[in-house]
């Protein structure tokens, strides 16, 4: 089941390679038809943020910490952030 969810999330992730000054700018710019969860995953996987790639770290915990610190509180709930970061870590093989 988890694999199916990740496959669906990957289908929603683009790879336009755009670079953003901040994670919030990326989140605000990605396809608005995506869920917040998909938008977080897209920014973590597909975009350079502030001149760095893989800003979301190497685990679900570092991802959640980074995303929580770099998104406006009203952008995504803690559940949406944790769900996206769990998927992110699983995609990294963690």
Distance, in Å, from the CA atom of 32 to the CA atom of 54, rounded to the nearest integer, reads: 22
Q: What is the domain partition of the chain in residue ranges? A: 2-92
Tens of pLDDT along 59-73?
999 999 999 999 999
Check whether 1 has a pLDDT greater than 90.
no
Residue 39 φ/ψ, nearest 5 degrees? -65, -40
Tens of pLDDT along 81-93?
999 999 999 999 9
The pTM of the full predicted model, rounded to 2 decimals, is 0.80
* HSE (side-chain half, CA atoms, 13 Å) at 57: 15
pLDDT of the residue at 5: 44
Query: Could you tell me how far CA 40 lies from the centroid of its own chain?
Result: 3
Check whether 58 has a pLDDT greater than 90.
yes
Please tell me which residue, 1 or 34, carries the higher pLDDT value: 34
């Amino acid at each position: 089941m988890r694999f199916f969810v990740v496959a669906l999330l990957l289908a929603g992730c683009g790879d336009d390679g755009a670079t953003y000054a901040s994670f919030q700018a990326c989140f605000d710019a990605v396809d608005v038809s995506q869920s917040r969860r998909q938008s977080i995953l897209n920014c973590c996987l597909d975009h350079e943020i502030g001149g760095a790639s893989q800003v979301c770290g190497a685990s679900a915990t570092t991802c959640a910490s980074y995303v929580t610190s770099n998104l406006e509180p009203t952008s995504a709930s803690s559940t949406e952030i944790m769900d996206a970061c769990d998927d992110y870590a699983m995609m990294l093989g963690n």
